[in-house]
Amino acid sequence: MIHYVPASLENITEVVEYVLDNNNQHEMKEIVRSANVWCKGMNTKEQLPRDAITQLMKYESALEEAFYDDGWDKDWKRVERRLRKNVGEDLVDCDID
């Protein structure tokens, strides 16, 4: 079972009608259940830093593509080394009271 309701701008009205239709309530609850399972697996202490680094690497690639000739990459490499060295060391548990 998927953990989301697939939609696009082209079919958003039909999808919303489908989601809100009481006849589809069981299917919607299954999607929510699957989403909760997916979130538990993806939002872990180990996975979140990996995802953050992945996003930073994507950002780096976008910067390289946009500004390759401006010499920014030397500055970025220093930042990247610092990020890679410190990731995980400054992560703390968040207690929600």
Q: What would the pLDDT profile of 9-61 be if each residue is shown by its tens digit? A: 999 999 999 999 999 999 999 999 999 998 888 889 888 888 999 999 999 88
pLDDT category at 91 given cuts 50, 70, 90 is low
**What is the rounded CA–CA span in Å between residue 7 and residue 2?**
13
**What is the rounded CA–CA span in Å between residue 78 and residue 37?**
38
pTM for the whole thing? 0.51
Q: Which of 43, 48, 45, 74 is nearest to 60 (CA)?
A: 74
Q: Helices 47-67 and 25-42 sit at what angle, rounded to 10 degrees?
A: 80
Q: Which of 52, 42, 62 is nearest to 84 (CA)?
A: 52
